[in-house]
Amino acid sequence: MANILTVRGVERRFDTTLALQATNLDVAENDFVTILGPSGCGKSTLLRIVAGLDHPTAGEVMLDGRRIEGPGADRGMVFQSYTLFPWLTVLDNVCFGLAERGLPRAQQLDIAHGFLAKVGLKGFDKHYPKQLSGGMQQRTAIARALANDPRMLLMDEPFGALDHQTRELMQELLLGIWEEQRKTVIFVTHDIDEAVFMGSRVLVMSARPGRIKLDREVAIPHPRHYSIKTTPVFSELKAELTEQVRVEVRAAQAAMA
Amino acid sequence: MRPLTPVSPGARVALGISFFVVFVAVWSIATFGGFVQKTFLADPIAMLKSGWVLLTEMGFAKDIGMTVFRVLGGFVIAAVIAVPLGVAMGAYKPIEAFFEPFVSFARYLPASAFIPLLILWAGIGEAQKLSVIFLGSFFSLVLMISVTVGNTRRDLVEAAYTLGVKDASLIRRVLIPGAAPEIAEQLRMVLGWAWTYVIVAELIGASSGIGHMITDSQALLATDQIIFGIIVIGVIGLVSDLFFKWVNRVLFPWAQLGR
């Protein structure tokens, strides 16, 4: 499989603190990469640099061989905070990027309705974001990002603010969509279960200054049912990652003290 | 009664009206009871009677019309310039850096203190009245709008960028619609201020308007007319405020959610 994204020597400094040390990463087309790490390890910074919302102080990021200079519609993003536009209905939120491209309204609606159905929000077109639960808002945000048909989807702890049960359902929903569409995804999280369940490849980042210290394939075939969370393969990988992340969390805490 | 517990709509209206009743009752006791001399404070009935005379025999309706025209005129001119300038300042930091210090300074210049100068420059005609209202509302309006636009949630801006917007459409599709309800609230508030400025403008060098009628009545010690004039201002202010609130609710239903 060809690499869609290449990260070369990307480093990010904030004044004197080094948040992210020279990082290399290749992401293959149709891959689902999850990034784990303690808070403040620079995993979100890395994702934001890929999104073009932050700029590296050294190194470069290439998407399809072209250098990333800023944000663009080719990299859709779902944030941890609820970022639906509160003045637009669910339907118009999903149409937002399509309208920007100047697609005829009928075509926008066609696409938007399709994705709203995929995320299970049929019949909520006319609702405003504030009328939706957190899980429904994030599902709309996923539909909004996917409707724009980006080259890849960047997700920054999108389920971080949701309760545990909603979170698990969202994971299954997103994984189901991925299994059907195979859109390339980078998914940042600090939830190990989530990283293993969804990822075809899991990266662990070290405590600040962040770097990728571990890169594991998740050898569990698709489609994945939630019951795989109790299989030995899953548990073994989870145990290893738990150990690795724990070391980093301790290191992060030691650095704070 | 418990802190922050809402009150039912019916009770809210009843409570609101009952204070007006209390107010008129206290006024009536003070005047009819002979506690206050008629020269200083007219009683409610005398006020209503002279109000009727003002409206039917002395052409007070025309004064009201003039005052409303001045308020709306000055306010609309201020708003038409302040909204685009405020949005531009909120969106572009160099523009803000250029105008903000002067606007902050100008905001504290009392509009009423400009009246002598404005009379010198613009005479005692309508231009002078509109200028007072403009000066009184424009600078504050610009500042408030620019702060509101500048406070647009950054995560919404970032989300918009990842959906492919460019700068011009960011302003049109994110900054303006996001700030619109708050800007509308600010316009409503500033319209209220415009009402105080118009009266001040009409107290000096005016030949028509509610403020002019009040100065004339002062010469005659007609407290009943003065109070009627003040109450008319209050009623018009209240009505325009309710109208503005209603328009905002209709235009921005999403902003009412979750309040």
Section A60-69 average pLDDT? 92
* Cα B3 to Cα B5: distance, rounded to the nearest angstrom: 6
Tell me: do A62 and A98 sit in the same domain.
no
- Reply yes or no on whether the pLDDT at A138 is more than 80: yes
Is residue A97 pLDDT above 90, yes or no? Answer: yes
d(CA B25, CA B217): 25
What confidence score (pLDDT) does residue B258 get?
Answer: 59
Q: In 3D, which of B91, B92, B255 has the Cα closest to residue B188?
A: B255
**Nearest CB to B163: which of A53, A96, A130?**
A96
**Is there a single domain that holds both residue A122 and residue A57?**
no
pLDDT at A254 over 90: no
Mean pLDDT confidence for A109-126: 93
Domains of chain B, residue spans? 46-253
Instruction: Name the closest residue on chain A to residue B152, using Cα atoms.
Output: A85
> CB distance A83–B177 less than 8 Å?
no
Domain stop point among A131, A149, A167: A149
pLDDT digits (tens, 9 = 90+) for B122-179: 888 888 889 999 999 999 999 999 999 999 999 999 999 999 999 899 999 999 999 9
Q: What is the CATH classification number for the domain harbouring A216?
A: 3.40.50.300
Q: For residue A12, what are the β-bridge partners?
A: A20
Helices (H), A64-203: 90-100, 105-118, 134-147, 164-181, 192-198
Judgement on whether residues A44 and A127 belong to the same structural domain of the protein = no
Compute how many other C-beta atoms are within 10 angstroms of the C-beta atom of residue B89: 24
Phi, psi of B26 (to 5 degrees): -60, -40
User: Reduced to 3 states, what is the DSSP secondary structure of residue A59?
Assistant: strand
- What is d(CA A219, CA A217) in angstroms, rounded to the nearest whole number? 6
Identify residues of A whose CB sits under 8 angstroms from chain B CBs.
51-53, 70-73, 75-77, 79, 81, 83, 85-88, 96-97, 100-101, 128-131, 141, 144-145, 148, 154
Q: Same domain, yes or no, for A173 and A249? A: yes
Nearest to B148 by CA among B78, B96, B107, B75: B96
Residue A133 pLDDT more than 80?
yes
Say yes or no: A144 and A219 in one domain.
no
Quick one: average pLDDT of A81-102? 95
> How high is the pLDDT of residue B57?
87
- Chain B: residues touching A (Cβ < 8 Å): 153, 155-156, 158-165, 169, 173-174, 177-178, 180, 252-255, 257-258
Which candidate from B162, B254, B258 shows the least CB-CB separation from A87? B254
A166: buried, middle or exposed (CB in 10 Å: 19+, 13-18, 0-12)? middle
Q: What is residue A247's predicted lDDT score, i.e. its pLDDT?
A: 87
CB-CB neighbors (< 8 A) of A72 in chain B: 161-162, 164
Share of chain B above pLDDT 70, in %: 99
Q: From the CA of B224, how many Å to the nearest CA of chain A? A: 49
Nearest to B82 by CA among B156, B164, B3, B193: B193
Residues B90 and B148: beta-carbon distance below 8 Å: yes
| Inter-chain CB proximity B162 and A53 less than 8 Å | yes
Q: Is A56 helix (H, G, I), strand (E, B) or coil?
A: coil
Domain boundary among A149, A168, A183: A149
pLDDT digits (tens, 9 = 90+) for A177-231: 999 989 999 999 989 999 999 999 999 998 888 889 889 999 898 889 988 999 9
When divided into structural domains, chain A yields a total of 2
* Whole-number pLDDT of residue A172: 92
Give residue A94's pLDDT: 96
A203 three-class SS: strand
Query: Under an 8 A CB cutoff, do B159 and A51 touch?
Result: no
Answer yes or no: are the C-beta atoms of A230 and A71 closer than 8 Å.
no
Q: Do the strands A66-67 and A58-63 form a parallel or antiparallel pair, or are they unpaired?
A: antiparallel
CA A244 to chain B, closest CA, distance in angstroms equals 31
Superfamily of domain B46-253: MetI-like (1.10.3720.10)
- Is the pLDDT at B120 greater than 80, yes or no? yes
Sort strands A201-205 and A75-78 into parallel, antiparallel or unpaired: unpaired
Which of A53, A101, A129 is closest, CB to CB, to B164?
A: A101
The pLDDT score that the predictor gives to residue B112 is 82
Which of B161, B163, B256 is best to mutate for the A interface (most A CBs within 10 A)?
A: B163
- Residue A185 lies in domain: 3-74+152-256
Share of chain A above pLDDT 70, in %: 100
Tell me the average pLDDT of chain B: 91
Beta strands in B99-196 (DSSP E): none
Amino acid B117: pLDDT: 87
- What per-residue confidence (pLDDT) applies to B111? 83
Cα torsion B170, B173, B178, B179: sign: positive
Residues in B closer than 8 angstroms to A85, CB to CB, are: 156, 159-160, 174, 177-178
Query: Which among A111, A134, A149 is the end of a domain?
Result: A149
Query: Which residues, listed in sequence order, are joined to residue A25 by a DSSP beta bridge?
Result: A7
Strand A201-205 vs strand A32-36: parallel, antiparallel, or unpaired?
Answer: parallel
Q: What is the pLDDT of residues A26-49, one digit of tens each?
A: 999 999 999 998 887 888 999 999
* pLDDT at A116 > cutoff 60: yes
Same domain, yes or no, for A142 and A163? Answer: no
**Phi, psi dihedrals of residue A234, rounded to the nearest 5°:** -60, -50
Question: What does the pLDDT read at residue B163?
Answer: 96
A230 in Cβ contact with A199 (< 8 Å): no
Domain shared by A174 and A51, yes or no: yes
Confidence of residue B110 (pLDDT cuts 50, 70, 90): confident
- Higher-pLDDT residue of B200 and A33 is A33
Q: SS3 for A229?
A: helix
3-class DSSP assignment, residue B248 = helix
- A244 shares its domain with A138: no
> A158 and A70 in one domain?
yes
* pLDDT-based confidence at residue B201 (cuts at 50, 70, 90): confident
Residue with tokens 């519609």: A73
Distance CA A120, CA A137 (A): 12
CA distances from B31 to B41, B181, B220, B221 (A): 7, 44, 19, 16
User: Is residue A60 located within the same domain as residue A105?
Assistant: no
CA distance A12 to A42: 9
Instruction: Inspect the interface and report whether the beta carbons of B163 and A100 lie closer than 8 Å.
Output: yes
Element (H or E) spanning B161, and its range? helix B154-162
Q: Same domain, yes or no, for A189 and A242?
A: yes
Number of other CB atoms surrounding residue B242 within 10 Å: 11
| Residues A158 and A203 placed together within one structural domain of the fold | yes
- Closest residue of chain A to B155, computed from CA coordinates: A83
Which residues does chain B have within 8 Å of residue A148's beta carbon, measured at their own beta carbons?
163-164
CB contact under 8 A, A85 and B178: yes
Integer Cα distance of A154 and A98 in angstroms: 18
